[in-house]
Structure 1
Amino acid sequence: MSRLTWRDLISEAISGIGSRPARTALTIAGIVMGIGTLVTTLGVSATAGNQIAGRFDAATATEVTVHVPRPSDPDTPPAVRWTATDDVARLNGVTAVAAYSRSQEGKDLPVRANAVKDPTRILDRLLPVVGSTPTLLDAARTTMGAGRFFDTGHVERRDRVAVLGAEAAAQLGLTRIDNQPAVLVDGKPYTVIGVLGTVGRADQQVLANAVILPWTAADDGLHLGPVTTVAITTVLGGATLIAEQAPRALAPNDPAGLQVDAPPDPATLRTGVAQDVSGLLLILGLVSLIVGALGIANVTLVTVMERTAEIGLRRALGARRHHIAAQFLLESVVIGLLGGIIGASTGILAVVTISVARQWTPVVDATLTAGSPLVGAVVGLLAGLYPSIRAARMQPVDALRGPG
């Protein structure tokens, strides 16, 4: 009985692969491209998702905004008291909170500034006007470009002072405040004590183009009314809880009447980003892998055609069909296995290189990396099935005649 031991089978397969090194290398390159693309795609998408979520964590994940509806009747008690921000500030996890009312959108107030050094220059603008608590600077993550922000003393004394947003100051032509310029808001004078710098919160960019007054002065002279917005910043991870607790602290009698804007869960964002990027790029890796599999099938089939004489001789000497099939199938599996190992290594190197270049923390799926050689072997197995079966079906007499 003819026998073919595993040692002989492996020896024959390695001999067959090594007999045509250039062709074998090109065939392996197809699998390397497929596996490498898969590992790189999933690794980069996971790394990008982690990086985007990390940036989101450090910024908007700590921002909560509460919108208060305007009362339909001026005689109705306000939904949120100005002093209610103190109750929110006592919540565990809150780092800053501020309340403000602003002129209704589409009904901005006329603002006029007289340039001291050029009395003939009068600039009139319709600008949003905000009456705020003195904590707005921290809650809106805003810096001062010049001067200072008003404090509790200004609020209690009902001082007619104003802080301008950077864009508002530019529109009014106020480039300096050391001479204590004044602006006329709806005909009423306010002394400018500061100009805002950068407004850090994306949802508070209205402040850059606004005239900001102490809420007491704004209520006295302009009747801006009660609180319309409460801006809250929290510690990392506290936004979700504060978003639930803030309405009860602000309006205990009707918390459901307030609208809360809170960031989505960072974990959900990370997963969503990773899935979106993976979904877009995974197709590229699969296409490359299919191309590599077709390359193995084509090369193996060509090899079978070129080695028909060898197959006929082996069959004449007693080799059985499953011996021939196993030899060519093992050659395909070894090619796929080598391609999987090299491809996984290339993919990991690409992810690390991209991450280092972007100063990211690389994230690589250990399961995918460890399973890549197995995936390559399976691809080689599937690609080599038809050629190996065709080789096994050759009759000794026909095979000995050769391909011609």
Structure 2
Amino acid sequence: MNIRRKPEEGGARLRPARLPLGDILRLGAVGLRARRARVVLSALGIAIGIATMVAVVGLSHSSKADLMARLDRLGTNLLTVEAGEDPMGNQVKLPKSAVAMVERIGPVRHATATGGVDAGIRRSDLVPEERAAGVTTQAARTDLLTALGAGVDRGRWLDSATERLPVTVLGSVAARRLGITDPGEKIMMGDRYVVVIGILDPVELVPTLDRVALIGFPSAEKYFGFDGHPTMVFERSPDGTVDDVRAVLARTVSPEGDHLVKVSRPSDALAAKAATDKGLTALMLGLGAVALLVGGVGVANTMVISVLERRQEIGLRRSIGATRNAIRLQFLMESLLLSALGGAAGAVLGTAATFGFAVAQGWTPVVPPWSVAGGFAATLLIGVLAGLYPAVRASRLHPTVALNAA
């Protein structure tokens, strides 16, 4: 028969009871509810930091998604060849057969061209020539819009009949500068009136065409002394062959020397814009992190003041059995709840700002889940760091000293 000996009276060690997590949460919440105005102001700093970071990441991704959609729509397989200057500084003339020469390159699917025309643009003959509207004249082939993927906003584009007549199609900016809102109006081109038959949509890949008045090659030769030499050639080829075509394009158009022409890829400008946006995003994230750090300092300051104001409460709790660990957990939980409140508010504000701005810009709103989760995790980390010193300070208060505090 096994007999268990009872521990002698006073022999058992008393261990302090551990507070359940629910009780710690309630204690932390009580401390916050008692000082609502201070809590709101402290949480505001955290909210601003998180909102900035979420909004910056969201807007960056929304802008990039819109840019990628534009690149997919416009294509990245457009190459341009522009006439340059010779070593003497004289303007080089591309051969009249430049388009036909480019079309003989195997992978090329489409080639077209524009040419500079020496004819100033004015609204009417009452406007002095020296007060031109900043619009230039260019001759264009009828297949230009097909190659560029551009469209007409109002009116019509040049065709086999109108390319021989004194008519013009204006770029979007050119029409605005001249005050032309509808086709059918006349403008001065050189010393001759021409009829506006169309206004283009903005040409995203070649924005310089937004500021010109376009006429047909035959019309430019007949009425304005155009010599027929193109100044810019455009070509499209399959995506997988763009680099190969680019390698031979300059020599094809300018057999005398590829250094006399400049080959470029218009879509590279949009890709460069995406790279620029990345740098700006990093800068704004840095500013958001600074705002978050300032918010954390505000939380730490709030918790230190809270400990000073509640010394008697701390002394009373210690005197009735609360351990140092319980006091630490109480104030650490207050700091975490305060930071979490600001983080949640900031995530909501940042998401709302992203959606509002993206919709206003016509973008598809994109808020990566990792940005919200990462921001909230940063908030909790700030809460722990900000509350650690005040919590330790509160736990080290001696009950007698705390109860005697004024």
Both structures adopt the same fold (TM-score exceeding 0.5)? yes
How far apart, CA to CA, are the structure 1 residues paired with 2:382 and 2:366?
28
How far apart, CA to CA, are the structure 1 residues paired with 2:251 and 2:219?
20
**Structure 1 residues 378, 310: CA separation in 2 closer, same or farther (over 3 Å shift)?**
same
Shift of 1:270: 5.1
- Partner of 2:140 in structure 1? 132
Shift of 1:263: 1.9
Matching residue within 92, 112, 121 for 1:98: 112
> Match of 2:296, as an amino acid?
L
Mapping 1:2-401, distance limit 5 Å: 3-7=15-19, 13=24, 16-17=27-28, 20=31, 22-23=33-34, 25=36, 29=40, 32-59=43-70, 62=75, 65-70=80-85, 78=95, 81-86=98-103, 90-91=107-108, 98-103=112-117, 108-109=118-119, 125=129, 128-138=136-146, 139=148, 141-143=150-152, 145-151=154-160, 159=164, 161-165=166-170, 167=174, 177=184, 185=190, 192=195, 194-201=197-204, 203-206=206-209, 208-214=211-217, 217-218=220-221, 222-224=225-227, 226-231=229-234, 242=242, 245-246=245-246, 248-249=248-249, 251-252=251-252, 254-255=257-258, 257-260=261-264, 261=266, 262-265=268-271, 268-269=275-276, 271-311=278-318, 313=319, 323-324=323-324, 326-358=325-357, 359=359, 360-366=364-370, 369=373, 372=376, 375-376=379-380, 379-380=383-384, 382-386=386-390, 388-389=392-393, 391-392=395-396, 394=398, 398-399=401-402
**Structure 1 residues 369, 27: CA separation in 2 closer, same or farther (over 3 Å shift)?**
farther
Shift of 1:69: 1.0
SS of the residue 2:98 aligns to: coil
Shift of 1:333: 2.0
| Count of aligned pairs between the two proteins | 369
How far apart, CA to CA, are the structure 1 residues paired with 2:99 and 2:269?
25
How far apart, CA to CA, are the structure 1 residues paired with 2:19 and 2:211?
78
How far apart, CA to CA, are the structure 2 residues paired with 1:32 and 1:88?
65
> Match of 1:67, as an amino acid?
E
How far apart, CA to CA, are the structure 2 residues paired with 1:214 and 1:269?
39
> Match of 2:365, as an amino acid?
T
SS of the residue 2:269 aligns to: coil
**Structure 1 residues 228, 80: CA separation in 2 closer, same or farther (over 3 Å shift)?**
farther
How far apart, CA to CA, are the structure 1 residues paired with 2:91 and 2:27?
92
Contact 1:88-1:250 at 8 Å conserved across structures: no
Identity of aligned residues (%): 12
Stretches of structure 1 that go unaligned for 5 or more consecutive residues are 115-120
Shift of 1:194: 2.9
**Structure 1 residues 390, 99: CA separation in 2 closer, same or farther (over 3 Å shift)?**
same
Stretches of structure 2 that go unaligned for 5 or more consecutive residues are 1-12
Contact 1:64-1:243 at 8 Å conserved across structures: no
How far apart, CA to CA, are the structure 2 residues paired with 1:271 and 1:147?
40
> Match of 2:112, as an amino acid?
A
> Match of 2:279, as an amino acid?
G
How far apart, CA to CA, are the structure 2 residues paired with 1:176 and 1:19?
72
- Partner of 2:6 in structure 1? none
**Structure 1 residues 84, 39: CA separation in 2 closer, same or farther (over 3 Å shift)?**
farther
